[in-house]
Each structure stands twice: as structure tokens, then as C-alpha cells.
């Protein structure tokens, strides 16, 4: 067990969507050069880093199963994002993605899986790797499935209006209420840092 866990037994995280949330939504992102961080993304991630909130990217990349991009390309994109963040003094703790889709073309990836959001497989991996408490964590994204992921693991779900978010907001989902709907990731960051469990309360 790591010492920080003894001092602060609750480890909060954000389960951060990628496309339309951290970076601009550009369809299937098949080249690192097409990565465009939103202007506030570095500040947002750095604020979580400083607050001791883990940042775990969780992204559905069905383009891999569909044969539009390879896992190698996904890794290149994530390395590129890591470099851009590092230049601004920020870092993401882990980059997880689901390469599957039931209608995929790549035989070994064309299946129902437990890691495609809103399924919780990748959150469970973060829990294993970092000791994160998902009940004190927050999923942030531009789709209702991001909100659903937060609720599926007992945490909170925040919808951002960037990417597909404004369109999603117009199409409420039965039985699914976001804990907050905000304009973008930096607003989500402000909301989360106000709502993260204060250490004094633990
Ligand atoms: Mg998205
Ligand atoms: Zn999967």
C-alpha cells in the first residue's frame, strides 16, 4: 500500500472522455497530427494533478474494431496528447481505451465486451491499478454514455457541451440525469473540485 493512501484513504479520480471532451471531436482520429486540445484542457488537467485527483482517460475507440485505425495509431495519439500536456506541466495518469465493437470487421475485436462505455470494465482496471474509489469519482464526457458510466460505478456523471454534448443535451435519456451539465472541461473541473470529498470529512 502506498503511503498517500494511509494519509488520504479515499482516492478520487476523473474518468475522462477523450473525443469531444479533452480534444476536439474530429471523427475517427487516425493521425496524431489531427489532435487538437481545447484551449482550456491543459489547465483543467493540471488542476486535477495539483488537487491529487487521478485522471484516467477512458475512451471508446470502435474505429479499431471497424478497421479504420490500428491500436498502434491509438497509442501514437495518446503519446502525442501526453507530450502536449507535458509541455504545459500536466499529465494523465492512465490512458485506457476499448477497441471493440459488436459490428466490427476485425474478427478478434468484433464482440460484445465489458470495457465499452457505459460498461465499467476500464473503471475496474483503474480501481485495480490505482486503488481509486469509484464512488468518490466523476465521469466526464460529451455523451450520455459517459454520464451513465459515472453512475454505473456509483460515482457521478457530468456532461460537457463540447463535441456532441450540446446535441446530447437536447435528447434527454429516460432515467439518466447528469449531476451537472456544463459548457466544457474547465467548467467541469471547477464543479468537480468543489464537490470532491474534502479530506477533513474523511
Ligand atoms: Mg466523446
Ligand atoms: Zn471493449
Told to judge if 30 belongs to the known catalytic residues of this protein, a careful annotator would answer no
For the CA of 98, the nearest ligand: 2
Burial (CB count within 10 angstroms: exposed 0-12, middle 13-18, buried 19+), residue 170? exposed
**Pairing of the two strands 180-182 and 94-98:** unpaired
Tell me the average pLDDT across 74-79.
98
Position 10 scores a pLDDT of 77
Q: Give the count of alpha carbons within 13 A of 110, CB side only.
A: 7
Q: Give the count of alpha carbons within 13 A of 11, CB side only.
A: 20
pLDDT tens-digit series, residues 151-170: 999 999 999 999 999 999 99
The pTM score is 0.93
Told to judge if 17 belongs to the known catalytic residues of this protein, a careful annotator would answer yes
Position 202 scores a pLDDT of 43
For the CA of 23, the nearest ligand: 1
Whether the per-residue pLDDT at 103 is higher than 70: the answer is: yes
Percent of the chain's residues with pLDDT above 70: 93
Whether the per-residue pLDDT at 200 is higher than 60: the answer is: no
Radius of gyration of the chain (CA): 16
Residue 174 — very low, low, confident or very high, per pLDDT cuts 50/70/90? very high
Amino acid at each position: 500500500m502506498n503511503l498517500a493512501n494511509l494519509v488520504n484513504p479515499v482516492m478520487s479520480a476523473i474518468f475522462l472522455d477523450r473525443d469531444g471532451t479533452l480534444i476536439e471531436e474530429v471523427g475517427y482520429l487516425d493521425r496524431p497530427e489531427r489532435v487538437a486540445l481545447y484551449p482550456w484542457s491543459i489547465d483543467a488537467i493540471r488542476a486535477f494533478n495539483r488537487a491529487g485527483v487521478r485522471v484516467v482517460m477512458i475512451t471508446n475507440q470502435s474505429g479499431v474494431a471497424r478497421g479504420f485505425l490500428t491500436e498502434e495509431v491509438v497509442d501514437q495519439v495518446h503519446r502525442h496528447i501526453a507530450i502536449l500536456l507535458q509541455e504545459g506541466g500536466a499529465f494523465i495518469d492512465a490512458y485506457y481505451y476499448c477497441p471493440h465493437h459488436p459490428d466490427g470487421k476485425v474478427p478478434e475485436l468484433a464482440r460484445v465486451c465489458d470495457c465499452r462505455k457505459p460498461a465499467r470494465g476500464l473503471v475496474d482496471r483503474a480501481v485495480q491499478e490505482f486503488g481509486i474509489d469509484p464512488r468518490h469519482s466523476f465521469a466526464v464526457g460529451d455523451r450520455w454514455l459517459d454520464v451513465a458510466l459515472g453512475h454505473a460505478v456509483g460515482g457521478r456523471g457530468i456532461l460537457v457541451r463540447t463535441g456532441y454534448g450540446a446535441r446530447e443535451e437536447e435528447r434527454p435519456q429516460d432515467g439518466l440525469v447528469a449531476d451537472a451539465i456544463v459548457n466544457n472541461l474547465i467548467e467541469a473541473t471547477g464543479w468537480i473540485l468543489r464537490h470532491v470529498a474534502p479530506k477533513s470529512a474523511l
